[in-house]
Structure 1
């Protein structure tokens, strides 16, 4: 993709270097569409930028050319907008997570990337968007990635053992009876040991059992619970441990809470909503 930026609509308002402006960004995989509005909500301009380091630099320089930029509303700060969010925060821009406009607003105003970008900025200006964007780095992000890998491995393991047991339902009676009542580890070892090389329905059933059993066995050493590392969890859960009345929680609950606040203490709501997780 070319590194050239592209204007998506004409300017609606003249620029004033001393004026406070707000940035809104509609994020995508390859191109971000940005809009700049004044403190009174007037549209200044919209433009698209590539999702590269140079594109982020151009986006910020373009937005700052309209005035004093201190706040930005960005959609999808945990996915497509994560890298841009980190860049803006490193440049001392307060990034607020902006949700996509609701269906009623889209019906009234239409649906384009430029309109969505302007809506993100207006949501910050009006106070509808107040959630501080997560930093998506540091120990909390490390825990999230390890937890995602573990969850995927556990799901694959469950699918393999369920497939193994499903084969037994319609397998030959002798084969089914020989494996009835076995625990999962014993069933896996038995399926691997009895895997034959000849043909036939019963042999095919045994072969089908051996395939998920081998996957189940191979998956076990590949998903250690890295997210349970004491030092990593202690560092990530620091803000939670300092909350009044905190009495500790299970490891998985602590990881979920750390992922929710994303190293931003301002995201910790004092209301008793955390009781759901504890």
Structure 2
């Protein structure tokens, strides 16, 4: 049975799975859908065209699905979609998308989102990401799977952070971060690659060595970006299972519009 506190205000049109838990004074709007096993703390506001999957835990005082902070927004029925098994801590703010982009802000699965994190309109957050306290993602920011963003970090609109990348504490990030890289500072600089994270995710020594070589080709060998991309492409076929990593890097570099931190 659902456990809805008597002080909660749940619109009759909202669709909640039978076992959803809703804390005191939480407000849920008419276009909200919430999957099985999800719990909402006290004093949350869940509004807009918002879909929340299964087994999420949303702590108290969160604002989920509010209209985007964009002057161009004219009330279009844009959306927020949250996957499964995410932890969303206190005072987080997730906004819906805008018609100028895909119209949806999207959060994947198994993310660990700490207190006071802001996801602006049209953010695309992958799965298994960690966002520390007060990380602020502006509109249209994309994060790949397993990305980590340190506390008090500000990410400029349209920036992309690649899979397995790590952004350090209090970074001002205005350019793209390639997969696997570690950056911090103001302005941001690449400090190395995320070797410990790759080890924890089961990357073997040969794959890690290939990622290290990609880091050298991008940041240590004095090559232009085009020369670096050609040299990285030449790594294909040299490491068992490593072609996926090379293709991930090349695809990211080829799609970058703001330029990479370099």
- TM-score, length basis structure 2: 0.25
Kindly name which structure, 1 or 2, has the bigger radius of gyration based on alpha carbons.
1
Does 1 or 2 have the higher relative contact order (CA < 8 Å, sep 6+)? Answer: 1
Normalized per residue, the structure richer in strand is: 2
Normalized per residue, the structure richer in helix is: 1
